[in-house]
């Protein structure tokens, strides 16, 4: 099966026309060659299209089936359908002029009758990707293995009580990690989905945490064995679908990495909607990862304020996105990471061009947010306020308290000798929030 000719309209790559443009098939803010803080906008943002939501999700929900009826979703020859899907995917990459894409193995190729056949199917489509990438600008931001959809993973993958599931998962990850390496991928993401438990009545917590740590170490060991130069990433995911997720948020995952001795080896891929489901803001999770030295990449999307689940909507809020971009810039920007749109169009958006417009509008939101965040950095007022608040820690006495050799005895003696009587100082939160909003112009 071949992808239908003219599936997307227009077929020409979208161009930058400026903020005054009302052309829906043009960028208003994303000018990829514009230099921002000494770097091209494209190099700052490193946009990626997510294969799963864009080409695999059929538009269903718990109360109704598929709505998209894509021509590559139905037929008896599943590999032919996967090839057609690849044709459409690379056409969208070309129209959007994005530098990257990302995939799960089950998104790109059908599951076979055996593990060996499933892995072979992935390699068949990966070979197609490789040929298409030779004549395309698009590169692979990251690959990952789907260790959650099949019923075999209902009790987890690395944390499953059945060792055969652990072994099956290891073989699946090995295949996708090697494919990612062969395609020049810049990262490999581990996202369990079901690494957690429903009830303690049937759970051995210590064993599951031990097994998860060993699994992560096996992946890192194999990375070095095959010469993969990219970054291993873990994506925190709270609440869904497991009630008690071991990878709940940045802080939780960092604790897991420290327990496994991998805090210097593995970084994090942070999703906006996962952050809010964990009770945090997106910028909090980015800032926390940066503070802990594990910031790697992001999945850009947003949740629905009225829904308590992962709705994976395209970002539309410039202010929220600007605050996230500000934290990314403060962290030094991406290295191997990027801005992956882990987002899906709504189930009523059934036109093919809805997929184009959703991405282009989101790219504009991120571009405008980047410009705002750059203004925040260049102006320096927010940083100055923070520096002033912590200025006391630059004094010799304060530094001495943190130095080797300091003790509670010495600190307490100085506090008494100097008759310390510290008085509270305003955090100036409202003033700083007003300052942050003032950059939205």
| DSSP bridge partners of 61 | 64
Closest CA to 104 of 155, 173, 153: 173
- β-pairing, 35-36 vs 39-40, is antiparallel
* Interatomic CA distance for residues 251 and 42, integer angstroms: 30
Calculate the alpha carbon distances from 379 to 8, 23, 325, 372, 382 in Å: 42, 32, 15, 11, 8
Tell me whether residue 299 is annotated as binding.
Answer: yes
- CA dist 326 and 376 (Å) reads 7
Q: How far apart are CA 323 and CA 334, in angstroms?
A: 16
Query: Pairing between strand 244-245 and 196-197?
Result: antiparallel
State whether the Cα torsion 304-25-29-189 is positive or negative.
positive
Residue 285, marked binder: no
Give the bridge partners for 244, in sequence order: 197
Contact 352, 7 (CB under 8 A): yes
Query: Does 320 carry a binding-site annotation?
Result: no
What does the buried/exposed string (b/e) look like for 124-158 if buried means 16 or more CB atoms within 10 Å of the residue's CB?
Answer: ebbebbeebbeeeebbbbbbbbbbbeeeebebbbb
249/37 Cα distance (integer angstroms): 30
- Of 113, 102, 51, nearest to 78 by C-alpha is 113
Q: Is 364 annotated as a binding residue?
A: no
- Residue 310 marked in a binding site: yes
Do the annotations mark residue 181 as ligand-binding? no
Q: What is the SS3 assignment for 77?
A: coil
CA distances in angstroms from 17 to 20, 22, 50, 369, listed in the order given = 8, 9, 25, 17
In the three-class reduction of DSSP (H, G, I as helix; E, B as strand; rest coil), residue 299 is classed as strand
User: Do strands 244-245 and 231-234 pair parallel, antiparallel, or not at all (unpaired)?
Assistant: unpaired
Residue 289 makes CB contacts below 8 A (sequence gap 6+) with: 250, 254, 267, 268, 270, 295, 296, 331
Residues 6+ apart with CB under 8 A from 164: none
Count, in order, helices (H) and strands (E) of the chain: 16, 14
d(CA 73, CA 372): 41
Catalytically annotated residues: 104, 107
Residue 271 annotated as binding site: yes
Question: Annotated binding residues for Mg(2+), as ranges?
Answer: 235, 271, 274, 299, 310, 312, 342
């Amino acid at each position: 099966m071949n992808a239908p000719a003219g599936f997307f309209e227009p077929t020409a790559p979208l161009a930058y026309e400026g903020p005054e443009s009302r052309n829906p098939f043009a960028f208003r803010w994303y000018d990829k060659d514009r230099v921002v803080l000494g770097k091209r906008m494209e190099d700052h943002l490193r946009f990626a299209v997510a294969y799963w939501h864009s080409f695999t999700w059929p538009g269903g929900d718990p109360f109704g089936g598929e709505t998209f009826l894509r021509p590559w979703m139905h037929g008896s020859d599943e590999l032919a359908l996967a090839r057609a899907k690849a044709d459409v995917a690379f056409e969208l990459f070309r129209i959007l002029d994005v530098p990257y894409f990302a995939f799960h193995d089950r998104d790109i190729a059908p599951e076979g009758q055996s593990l060996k056949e499933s892995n072979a199917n992935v390699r068949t489509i990966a070979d197609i990707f490789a040929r298409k990438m030779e004549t395309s600008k698009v590169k692979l931001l990251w690959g990952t293995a789907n260790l959650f959809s099949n019923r075999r993973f209902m009790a987890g993958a690395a944390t499953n009580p059945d060792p055969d599931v652990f072994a099956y998962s290891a073989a699946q990850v090995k295949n996708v990690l090697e494919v990612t390496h062969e395609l020049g991928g810049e990262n490999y993401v581990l996202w369990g989905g079901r690494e957690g438990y429903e009830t303690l009545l049937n759970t051995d917590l210590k064993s599951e945490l031990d097994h998860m740590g060993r699994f992560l170490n096996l992946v890192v060991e194999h990375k070095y064995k095959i010469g993969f130069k990219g970054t291993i990433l873990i994506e925190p995911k709270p609440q869904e679908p497991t009630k008690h997720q071991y990878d709940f948020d940045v802080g939780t995952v960092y604790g897991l990495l420290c327990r496994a001795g991998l805090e210097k080896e593995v970084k994090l891929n942070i999703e906006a909607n996962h952050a809010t489901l964990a009770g945090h803001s997106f910028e909090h999770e980015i800032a926390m990862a940066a503070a802990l030295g594990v910031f790697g990449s992001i999945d850009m999307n947003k949740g629905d304020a009225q829904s308590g689940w992962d709705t994976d909507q395209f970002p539309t809020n410039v202010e929220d996105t600007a605050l996230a971009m500000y934290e990314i810039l403060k962290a030094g920007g991406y290295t191997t990471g990027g801005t992956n749109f882990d987002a899906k169009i709504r189930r009523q958006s059934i036109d093919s061009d809805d997929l184009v417009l959703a991405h282009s509008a989101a790219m504009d939101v991120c571009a405008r947010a980047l410009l705002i965040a750059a203004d925040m950095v260049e102006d320096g007022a927010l940083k100055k306020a923070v520096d002033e608040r912590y200025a006391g820690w630059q004094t010799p006495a304060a530094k001495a308290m943190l130095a080797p050799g300091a003790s509670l005895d010495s600190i307490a003696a100085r506090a008494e000798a100097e008759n310390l009587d510290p008085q509270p100082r305003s955090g100036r939160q409202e003033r700083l929030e007003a300052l942050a909003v003032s950059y939205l112009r």
